[in-house]
Amino acid sequence: MKVYTRGGDAGETSLFGGRRVPKDAPRVLAYGEVDELNAQIGLALAELSHGDLRRQLLTVQSSLFDLGAELAVPGSGAESARRAPRPSVTQAEVEQLEGWIDELDAELTPLASFILPGGERSAALLHVARVVCRRAERQVVSLAASEPVDAAGVAYLNRLSDYLFTAARAANARAGVEEPKWVGRER
């Protein structure tokens, strides 16, 4: 099987099931953002040495692949779940993220001020993944305004951005790197 098909040369792509849509259709934009998020997490993984964070992020990548597959199937959440090649994310996966956040947060000093994205390289990459996650969430919410989308997918992206923030803080703490703090400006 060849990687290229020439099917998208005219600016259209196929959703799961074969329906052709423009490449800038809201559904395509939504799963494209989720795909970009998955790639950004892969980049952060290339820099991470912490086994627990690596295992968690690999699980996240699989969940994001499932979410992207669900978004590529037109129709209602339940209807698309029956036709999707793999199941989408579930409320249990949202709760798993919450558990990971709580575990990581227990090893961190409480936030006393706003922090800036940055620190050591893997933490900075996790912060980039966090903002890409927020963009993916906005795109999926936008899709949900016009087409049915499973609510667990939106909740998963919302919680994932919180997890990525906490994981970035943990990566900095474990590396002994102080988080850059926002100092504000006098007005």
The pLDDT score that the predictor gives to residue 76 is 47
The pLDDT score that the predictor gives to residue 110 is 94
The pLDDT score that the predictor gives to residue 131 is 98
Tell which phi-psi region holds residue 134, choosing left (phi > 0), alpha (psi between -120 and 50) or beta.
Answer: alpha
Give how far Cα 166 sits from Cα of 10, 25, 46, 86, 134, Å. Answer: 42, 33, 18, 28, 14
The pLDDT score that the predictor gives to residue 83 is 53
- Chunked into runs of 10 residues, the chain (187 residues) has average pLDDT values of 81 79 87 97 95 97 95 66 64 97 97 94 98 98 93 96 98 95 77
pTM of the entire structure?
0.89
Spell out the domain ranges in the chain.
18-108+115-175
According to CATH, the superfamily of the domain at 18-108+115-175 is Cobalamin adenosyltransferase-like (1.20.1200.10)
Tokens, residue 18: 């074969």
The pLDDT score that the predictor gives to residue 20 is 81
The pLDDT score that the predictor gives to residue 87 is 59
The neighbour count for residue 134, using CB atoms within 10 Å, is: 17
